[in-house]
Amino acid sequence: MTFDYDLFVIGGGSGGVRAARVAASEAGAKVGLAEEYRMGGTCVIRGCVPKKLMVFASEYSEMFADARAYGWDLQDGAFDWPTFSARMRAELDRLEGIYRNLLTNAGVTFYDARAVLKDAHTVELSTGEVFTAKHILVATGGHPTLPEVPNADLGITSNEIFLMEKLPQSVLIVGGGYIACEFAGILNGLGVEVMQYYRGAQILRGFDDEARGLVAEGMREKGVDLHVGTNIMQMEKRDGRIWVKSTTGRECTVDHVMFATGRTPNTAALGLEEAGVELGRWNEIVVDEYSQTSVPSIYAIGDVTNRLALTPVAIREGMAFVETVFNGNPTAVDHKLVPSAIFTQPEMATVGLSEEEARESERVEIYCSSFKPMQRAFAGRSDRALMKLVVSQKTRKVLGCHIVADQAGEMIQLVGIAIKMGATKEDFDRTVAVHPTISEELVTMHTPVRTT
């Protein structure tokens, strides 16, 4: 059978674009791609990139006071959201243009349209065009969801936060995951009065208990009104604002309620089930280790598979797909020991097992140091940093590393290499410290604080 394309990609995010252009430019495949919104996907348009720009902007609020402590004659400035927002949107436009140029230069034909599956080898676009392909790759990502709360549609999600024409005076953020906690810090740093509700006992569930406890403490010290064991019971629009009553009986009125209570794979109305593609419990596309679905010609990568929702993972899965399908070299992505950073304030980064996870399977030693970083202490701040290593008693391998500190994400990238290589605690000990730095604590902790 003759096909219009060797590969047709549905979704123009980081994973889909990488797979499309590598298949076209390096494997010589004829590739088509369809994206219904903007090229770049969640990460570039409404996720990692604009969020990190907002993190940068929000961190300047503390710098005026810190600079004065270091002898600079500065007065506190005023943040202008319209100026920043315009520059941020211009930067996103620039990045989207780069993505389009990458596809064009690789020889990929792309369509600004929604694509749905008609069968195992056919896609139909919202323009009415129909194409056949030997292989189809679904890389449609995910989207934030609203909880089952009365009048939840009065709230906004992380998608809308980037589109605000002006900053609110007050906001209630509902959720305790990394998105909720990151935006609590961002908006607080920009001068917004921030309240946060989380129904669980502690924010950042699934991360190391000691590390997330320090993050929660730091958020409160910086001004976030954080309430755990709390959820929304009622919400109504009153006089242009939103009145909320919590499960603890607390009442408040805010300009916005932002829900960061979960994300769902973008699988609805794509024709997946009609084409025979199996979906999982959370509406994710079920794939094997090579990203192949229950239909041999259809593959899926990235957040739509609900494996590990990180942009670099989606890109790695896209590369592995091309290697498997077009280069004849079956390649599975290793989803273990993936470093990650949470851009809360204070920042947290992690790789490997938490103390709680590790001690469920073996005896471990815990090396931990909490201290006031020199730069912050000199400025009179109470901020504390945390450096933590989880070590196997039996093999001496470092099973996990957890950092709460400025630039934690930059540090964990390099620590991740060592842990991925199987470094032992003695390998860390043999490494000479770089002084004076925060990270030197990682190689100077010689006595465990506890054994579990």
Residues 395 and 68: their CA atoms lie apart, in Å, by 49
Per-residue tokens: 293: 């679905």
> Is position 435 annotated as part of the catalytic site?
yes
Q: 23-29 contacts: CB < 8 A, separation 24 or more?
A: 23/322, 23/325, 23/326, 24/106, 24/107, 24/108, 25/105, 25/106, 25/107, 26/322, 27/322, 27/326, 27/327, 29/5, 29/326
Beta bridge partners, 349, equal 341, 403
Listed in order, strand segments (DSSP E) in 260-321 are: 263-265, 298-300
CA nearest 231: which of 157, 148, 303, 165? 148
Contacts of 19 (CB under 8 A, 6+ apart): 7, 9, 137, 139, 301, 318, 319, 321, 322
Is 284 within 8 Å of 268 (Cβ atoms)?
no
User: Looking up tokens 């950042």, which residue turns up?
Assistant: 204
Catalytic member of 121, 143, 227, 435: 435
Cα dihedral 413, 314, 45, 199, rounded to 10, equals -80
- How do 450-451 and 170-174 pair as beta strands? unpaired
Rounded (10°) angle between helices 14-25 and 81-106: 30
Q: 88 and 45 in contact (C-beta within 8 Å)?
A: no
> Buried (b) or exposed (e) across 104-133, using 16+ Cβ within 10 A?
eebebbbbeebbbbebbbbbbbeeeeebbb
- In which element (H, E) is residue 349 found? strand 348-352
Q: What is the 3-state secondary structure (H, E, C) of 224-276?
A: CEEEECCCEEEEEEECCEEEEEECCCCEEEECEEEECCCEEECCCCCCCCCCC
**For the chain, how far is it from start to end, CA to CA, in angstroms?**
61
- Backbone dihedral region for residue 93 (phi beyond 0: left; psi -120 to 50: alpha; all else: beta): alpha
Residues known to be catalytic: 435
